Chain A
């Protein structure tokens, strides 16, 4: 059901593209402006800015007050544990993407995180895996597509979802259906649990971001351009981190080979 909701949102975004028109491309006589235009890669900027305004209003009058209320009632320690449980439920998706990215050590980290935190960590309430040498990392189908060589595409500001691009939007859809819990069980209780998890993920994440988002809005003169820049840089850094993670495949608890003498690596 949730996927239908997202699909409807995406359709609305595509329809509004036609209504709102495109950004004007600078003439070839102004090479610097043209370079900046290409670097921003935001040909749908007028529409994106309108959607940002809509999302910002939604956030200001609905999401943020809810998150503030939640953060007021629920102490930080509990929120951190809620975050741990939600992260743990999401770990299978991370694992699937580690495999698709052919990052065996990352996949091993994810597997051990899920095993340790689901058992020792009491259904994910405690994150013992990080301390045991299996820290969390980012992996989703958007990053996987990037490692497969799919280009970013133009910047998109999606209703409700916020900053994105065609690659990440596709990745988001695949992320929803590749979650094993999406397919587990039937009936009212299971779907209610699913809704509860989605709602809690949104509220808990927004509560974590209360200060950072306020700070960006306090400092930015053009919040839209700032969020666009932050989103693009953050995704690029996550992709680069995945690409650069080429650890050799001997686990930490296995006897390590003698360290190479200094100056040879």
Chain B
């Protein structure tokens, strides 16, 4: 009798512990989701604020660069994009890749800025999905149909960071990964030709910018 009671007690205690921990994690998740949504709202407001401001191009670029570094998990995206070839690369190549990728990402964002002149956005829902927390926004640019942009957010180093952007259902980081893998596979699985192509592209962007 006593053994049975003890068993029941243990069972109940475990169940309560489990239930409370489930409650805690779901609360933590709800907090993460609302944090992510707030972060996207702030970032979009700031980004469009910079794009639609009357500052000079150089100032805009510097402001956007700072925004991107603060809001995007740049290193995580870089690792995702190189994927399985990260392990093929030598430590020197890895370092070179990270450095070049960071610079290219800024040009990728600032290059898009002109086409978002006058854009407005409305916040949609945010929800936990397989890829991370997905925050929906609708972006309207004058003279163009409304576009659905989804932001994938993950907690990196205790802070919500953007890890992917889905434009009308196409993932930017996945497209980028396939792009880079295309270069590597066209060159017999070597990482160096990709780095050369990245350097070449960066030089082109820098000469266009100056």
Q: Which residues of A are interface residues toward B (Cβ below 8 A)?
A: 32-33, 36, 40, 76-77, 80, 211, 215, 218-222, 224-226, 228-230, 233-234, 236-238, 240-241
Q: What residue of chain B has the Cβ atom nearest to residue A211's Cβ?
A: B115
Q: Which 8 A-B pairs have the closest CB atoms?
A: A237-B169, A225-B182, A222-B182, A229-B178, A233-B170, A226-B179, A221-B197, A32-B84
Query: How many cross-chain pairs have Cβ atoms below 8 Å apart between A and B?
Result: 65
Instruction: Indicate if the CB atoms of B198 and A221 lie closer than 8 Å.
Output: yes
A225 CB contacts on chain B under 8 angstroms = 178-179, 181-183
Q: Is the CB–CB distance between A219 and B178 below 8 Å?
A: no
B147 to chain A, nearest CB (A): 11
What is B's interface to A at a CB cutoff of 8 Å? Answer: 84, 108, 111-112, 115, 143, 168-171, 174-175, 178-183, 185-186, 189, 194, 197-198, 201
Main SS at interface, chain A: helix
Question: Per a CB cutoff under 8 Å, which of A76, A221, A228, A234 touches B168?
Answer: A234
Residue in A closest to B166 when the chains form the complex, CB atoms: A237
Q: A36-B181, A40-B178, A222-B186 are in contact. List 18 more A-B contacts (CB 8 A).
A: A211-B115, A215-B111, A221-B183, A221-B198, A222-B179, A225-B182, A225-B183, A226-B178, A226-B179, A226-B182, A229-B174, A229-B178, A230-B170, A230-B175, A233-B169, A234-B169, A234-B170, A238-B169
Chain A residue with minimal CB distance to B201? A221
C-alpha spacing A234/B175, complex, angstroms: 11
Q: Is the CB of A221 within 8 A of B112?
A: no
Structural contact, A229 and B179, CB atoms closer than 8 A: yes
Contacts of B197 in A (CB 8 A): 221
| 19 residue pairs bridging A and B, Cβ less than 8 Å apart | A36-B181, A36-B185, A40-B178, A76-B143, A211-B115, A218-B111, A221-B180, A221-B183, A221-B201, A222-B179, A222-B180, A222-B183, A226-B178, A233-B170, A234-B168, A236-B169, A237-B168, A237-B169, A240-B169
- Inter-chain contacts of A222 with B (CB < 8 A): 179-180, 182-183, 186
Of B84, B175, B186, B201, the residue contacting A229 (CB under 8 A) is B175
CB of B37 to closest CB in A, whole Å: 18
Q: Using Cβ atoms and an 8 Å threshold, which residues of chain A touch B115? A: 211, 215
Which of the residues B108, B175, B186 comes within 8 Å of A226, measured between beta carbons? Answer: B175
Compute how far the CA of A33 lies from the CA of B143 in the bound complex, rounded to whole angstroms.
Answer: 44
A240 contacts across to B, CB distance below 8 A? 169
Q: Which of B174, B182, B186, B201 has the most CB of A within 10 A?
A: B182
B112 and A215 within 8 A (CB): yes
Distance (whole angstroms) from the CB of B171 to the closest CB of chain A: 6
Nearest CB of B to A83, in Å? 10
Which residues of A lie under 8 Å from residue B143 when comparing CB positions?
76-77, 80
Asked if residues A233 and B84 are in contact (CB atoms below 8 Å), the reply is: no
Contact A233 B171 (CB under 8 A): yes
Nearest A residue to B143, CB-CB: A76
Q: Roughly how many angstroms separate A80 CA and B111 CA in the complex, as a whole number?
A: 25
- In angstroms, Cα B189 to Cα A219, docked, is 21
Name the B residues within 8 Å of A40 (CB-CB).
Answer: 178
Within the assembled complex, what's the spacing in Å between the Cα atoms of A241 and B171?
15
Residues of B within 8 A of A33 (CB): 84, 189
Q: Nearest residue in A to B182 (C-beta to C-beta)?
A: A225
- The minimal Cβ–Cβ distance linking A193 to chain B, given in whole angstroms, is 27
Complex: A230 Cα to B198 Cα, angstroms: 20
Expressed in whole angstroms, the minimum distance between the Cβ of B207 and any Cβ of chain A is 14
- Among A32, A219, A221, which residue has the most Cβ atoms of chain B within 10 A? A221
What residue of chain A has the Cβ atom nearest to residue B180's Cβ? A221
Q: Give Cα A80–Cα B145 distance, bound, in whole angstroms.
A: 10
Question: How many Å lie between the Cα of A211 and that of B117 in the bound state?
Answer: 14
A233 and B175 form a contact (CB under 8 A): yes
Closest to B169 in A: A237
- Report Cα–Cα, A54/B185, bound state, in Å: 21
Among A77, A220, A222, A226, which residue has the most Cβ atoms of chain B within 10 A? A222
Residues of B within 8 A of A32 (CB): 84
Report the nearest B residue to A239, measured CB to CB: B169
Q: Give the complex CA separation of A226 and B170 in angstroms.
A: 11
A36 close to B84 (CB less than 8 A): yes
User: B170 — which chain A residues lie within 8 A by C-beta?
Assistant: 229-230, 233-234, 237
Tell me the complex Cα distance, A77–B144, Å. 10
In angstroms, how far is the closest chain B Cβ from the Cβ of A72?
Answer: 16
